[in-house]
Structure 1
């Protein structure tokens, strides 16, 4: 009999999510009694706003939510997503152009699966979220990294993208604000990239999950009372709408990571294909979670602004404190809730009897000697960087930085 591998090569080649791996290790050490402070997970520390929870409680008692509903999402929620997309992304889309997914991660996977054939290339600016290359490969595509370091503010240029483009290039991945860097493209930069993509006949998958968490845009500071704006690529270049899929969700803006509601918005043919895929993959998202998401999008936004202001305060604090560490360079992020220090100045030096040569080794040293969990740059692209989420309480955020300052003094 022929011997087959127990697990398919396709699935066996997937790497575990580095951010979740580091977070799990931190939680395991905390369970052992060690006072580990974790900056690993991209998860707001706030509770989901009460009005959203109340909507879910009401939905639990409504029998109409106990049955299958349309695989593409509840009609009311799809309408609300379309309205939010017009408001925040400048794209007029009908509810039929929306598919509600089990979190933004499913939307990312389905977008690539819908567009890619084997061998198609995706231009993927780096540093990148750890799931992107895996989702591309699962869809049969080939991720092509286009790297921009701290000297560029982690923002790729049209010239870099053009240098990476080949006859196999089909999709441009565009992410602003960025995970892991917090970088935000200006309106001018977004327009230039969008026009280049349009001229070259590329599809665009634009991840807008952090679009409501913006503090400064294009280098122009905004007060805590006047948030900045992340320009959507379809807002900058409306002609791209027929070749763009937007992915988004409620997880980050509304502190709803565990509710698992995301969505994708795009041209009718692509969205119909994605809905067909979802009908076989997972069918409809939990109706209770969909009702909660509907309340989030249509209800009062005061709690959202309160959280944004708290993130802004923490952003300023962590950047200021990290930049006191010699050898660590921390650009100021303009969106999301991450900082992405360049730590090349800390490598190849002895710290507590250990000489790390990579950011992976440095992250291990930080965890063991300072009891602080950070995610190494290898999870997001080249070595030499670490990611810290500032979506945790003010006191642990400052205490963790104090430990780093002591370790690297």
Structure 2
């Protein structure tokens, strides 16, 4: 091979640099269904790392619904929504998703996507195109998910929108920036539940700011949909918000247990995104069988079983808060199924994950750039399928591993 192949040399040298920084990620293939126990490399591990918060990913009713959907609609959609890929299954799902938010968004309408990443890219880039080039401002929370960050960057590049980052725990700087912003279009972008810390966005305060300064408020509730609110409708239900300014994005591959995502907003905004949202226009539609399956998932989320599962999750969270006491490791405050344990260095996080793996647990180390430098962690997540005994065994194991790692580190 020619030594002049510089791109290959760059790839190999930079991968080596990732190894030196303990930042190289590696794939692990599971051999079983998503649940609280996973078979990985021929070993059964207790999994506390998935986003299947309600434990629906392997639910018999959803398995049956997917089989029924495939029998009725086949396994592919064949084209984008605007060509021939939009099925009655998609239509029914979008109407049901809109009904979930109808008390919070006037004239609510929903648009279904294959992933949350696509939904966020479409919403941000499409909405910013409502303004002439250079006449839009975007205000983005510093700890937003990568899909929001990329949507903001793309919108800024495409439409010359100004971008300002803000701290969601301290809103004075956001208010001050908006006070001096004379542009005709302003968009505030935030996660509903911050995926690496598990804390909630101050949605009510952000909406008040948006109303005061004539901005839209986009909330990506990927980790709140299905979990927050009495009926699992998400952060808008929990905080009892109502406004035409709300752009709500929910994910359907986490608590809903299946796949996909959606944007819910006032009908006029959704119609605009259908006309101008490039990722939506130019993507093949999700298989209708998936949309059909999600209709059953939404019934479970909204019904008695969903309420019981959320009640059990809250019980697990309370036990963790009371009983998981560390000697040195840092536990973040979270009222959600996301419970991070901050270990600081990449080496500390990798060691803890290795010791957990040896003890039969699957909880990967989370390192930069997913989290800020110096805040590598274990991201522990609960499922409604975890029992109280499962959690208490984990707590016992973590206490032992903390002691072991402290000895090895010294």
CA distance, structure 1, for counterparts of residue 220 and residue 280 of structure 2: 22
CA RMSD in angstroms comes to 4.2
Counterparts of 1:4 and 1:200, CA distance in 2: 53
Q: 1:389 aligns with which of 381, 388, 392?
A: 381
Of 379, 399, 402, the residue aligned with 1:405 is 399
* 1:137 aligned residue (136, 145, 153): 153
Which residue number corresponds to residue 338 of structure 1? 338
Determine the C-alpha separation between the residues in 1 that align with 2:113 and 2:231: 31
Deviation at 1:111, TM superposition (A): 1.0
**Normalised TM-score (structure 2):** 0.69
C-alpha distance in 2, partners of 1:57/1:91? 34
Aligned residues: 351
CA positional deviation for 1:325: 0.7
| Alignment check: 8 A CA contact 1:104 1:263 kept | yes
Q: Deviations over 1:237-286 (max 9, x none)?
A: 52xx1x43211133333322xxx232112234432342242553214221
Quick one: distance in 2 between partners of 1:129 and 1:91?
23
Cα–Cα, structure 1 residues 111 and 66, in superposed 2: closer, same or farther, change >3 Å? closer
Cα deviation, residue 402, structure 1? 3.2
1:214 to 196, 209, 228: 228
User: C-alpha displacement at 1:81, in angstroms?
Assistant: 1.5
**1:235/1:330 Cα in 2 relative to 1: closer, same or farther (>3 Å)?**
same
Say whether 1:59 aligns with 2:64: no
- TM-score of the aligned structures, taking structure 1 as reference length: 0.69
2:110 matched to which residue of 1? 98
Higher mean C-alpha displacement, 293-302 vs 171-180: 293-302
How many Å apart are 1:340 and its aligned residue? 3.0
Would the aligned equivalents of 2:140 and 2:164 in 1 still touch at CA under 8 Å?
yes
Kindly tell me: are residues 318 and 135 of structure 1, through their superposed partners in 2, closer, same or farther at Cα, counting changes over 3 Å?
farther
Partner residue of 1:230 out of 232, 235, 240: 235
> 1:237 and 1:37, CA in 2 relative to 1: closer, same or farther beyond 3 A?
same
Q: SS where residue 81 of structure 2 aligns? A: coil
- Give the direction of change, closer, same or farther, for the CA distance of 1:156–1:385 in structure 2 (3 Å limit): farther
Instruction: Flag the 1:32–1:52 CA change in 2: closer, same or farther, 3 A.
Output: closer
Question: Offset at 1:317?
Answer: 3.0
Matches within 5 A, 1:37-48: 39-44=48-53, 45-48=55-58
1:127–1:359 CA distance, 2 compared to 1 (3 A): farther
The aligned residue for residue 275 of structure 1 is 274
Q: Which of 73, 83, 91 is the aligned partner of 1:75? A: 91
SS in 1 for 2:169: coil
Separation in 1 of the partners of 2:270 and 2:231?
34
Offset, 1:114:
1.0
Matches within 5 A, 1:245-256: 245-256=247-258
Matches within 5 A, 1:138-177: 138-140=154-156, 144-147=164-167, 156-163=169-176, 167=181, 170-177=186-193
Secondary structure at 2:111's aligned position in 1? strand
- Give 1:290 deviation, angstroms: 0.9
Counterparts of 1:79 and 1:63, CA distance in 2? 19
